[in-house]
Amino acid sequence: MFLSFLSRPTLQSRSLLHAKGSRTRIGPSLPQIFSRLRSALAPRRVKWPRQHKGRVHIPVGGSTKGTTLAFGDYGIRVRGMGKRVTAKQLQVAEAAMRHKTKLIKGSKIHMRIFPDMPVGVKGNETRMGKGKGGFEYWAKWVSTGKVMFELQSPKGALIDKEIAKSILKLAQRKLPVTTDFITKSTPPRIGNMDVLPGVPVKMPGPEFTCTRNTEGIQNQPRC
């Protein structure tokens, strides 16, 4: 406290800056710090501290990105409806897995999702209006078919499948979504449908026949 005056510009330095017409800011600008429910899983910088609630992403375009393993030999993937997962839930699930894998030297745990969405909560018995509530915790919308955690075996060895299942089952119990155990041979997914090689995928939706010559014909779908 007694050295705080050293970081403050004096009256003479202020007058010199205004005289020269400089727009240089004195001292670094401190980022906004969230104090409530502080978690290790949090982005470093956020442009907008308050964001829209959003909704779970539905892969309607046929993309299979993020539905297969990328780093490990085993993993868990979301099955059923997607939900919003908090940073605390991810941190507890990862800690449970790390505690179990202490005896397996060289093994690694990869988290494929990151909570980067701030969630604001208003107090109880608060009148409507007056803007959005203050920051409460970090969260992430997890869609159907998304891989959440991966377990990588040590170099030159492969963790037994049953042991990997017991390790990943600890994380499954801590998460609010229903997940499936997957391996490297598990095919990718579009929603809840597995994409097998050489088998065409039939997307759900109304079937129609596209007509190229639509002159004089009404209510025809575009090709």
Cα separation, 111 vs 130, in Å, equals 37
Strand order of the sheet with strand 74-79? Answer: 108-111, 147-152, 74-79, 178-183
Name the 3-class secondary structure at 166: helix
Mean pLDDT of the chain: 79
Q: Per-residue pLDDT tens for 26-42?
A: 333 334 444 444 567 89
Span 74-122+131-186: which CATH code?
Answer: 3.90.1170.10
The mean per-residue pLDDT over the stretch 49-74 comes to 88
Helix %, strand %, coil % for the chain, to 5?
20, 20, 60
For residue 83, the model assigns a pLDDT of 92
The mean per-residue pLDDT over the stretch 156-181 comes to 95
| pTM for the structure as a whole | 0.70
Residue 215 has pLDDT above 60, yes or no: no
Q: Which residues contact 4 (CB under 8 A, 6 or more apart)?
A: none
Residue 197 has pLDDT above 80, yes or no: no
Least confident of 4-8, 67-71, 145-149, 176-180: 4-8
Q: How confident is the model at residue 13 (pLDDT cuts 50, 70, 90)?
A: very low
Cα separation, 179 vs 90, in Å, equals 14
